A = this chain, B = another copy of it.
Amino acid sequence: MFGPNDQAAEFVERWNAAPTDTTEVCPVRQVLDKVGEKWSVLLVMTLASGPRRFNELRRQVPDISQKMLTQTLRDLQRFGLVSRTVFDTNPPSVEYRLTELGQSMIVPLGHLIRWASENYGEIATARAAFDRAA
């Protein structure tokens, strides 16, 4: 049988097999980095409910700066998660939309988010205990 631990072992193996000359980074790590970026997941999740235009996203994600919005969208596009379509209207409008790859990522992301939501109480308790001991 292939349980979670086998995945773990395989992951560790692949990681350590990755070249350390740092020209290439372990593929999985690149994905984890994306997840760790401040706005990537929020944008992917926002786009999950349908395509948006640039300023629509600004409104729906109020705290993001336009620089970070542009930059994150570019990154997601480069990753193949988001497609960018320019409509030659006046004024111009640009539509951002999840690609199939992007939509497929919602599933594992959803698992992680669900886990986080369900277990945050325990995390908070652990942290409080840790800080009290220290």
Contacts and interface: CB of A to CB of B under 8 A. Distances in A.
A105 B4 CA distance: 10
Contacts of A68: none
B42 A15 contact: yes
A132 to B, nearest CB: 11
Secondary structure type dominating chain A contacts: helix
A127 B82 CA distance: 12
A122 interface: yes
Given A8-B45, A9-B49, A79-B123, A104 B115 contact: yes
B131 A78 contact: yes
A80 B126 CA distance: 5
Interface residues of A, number: 61
Contacts of A44: 8
Interface string A86-119: 0000000000000101001111111111111101
Contact of A108 (B78, B114, B120): B114
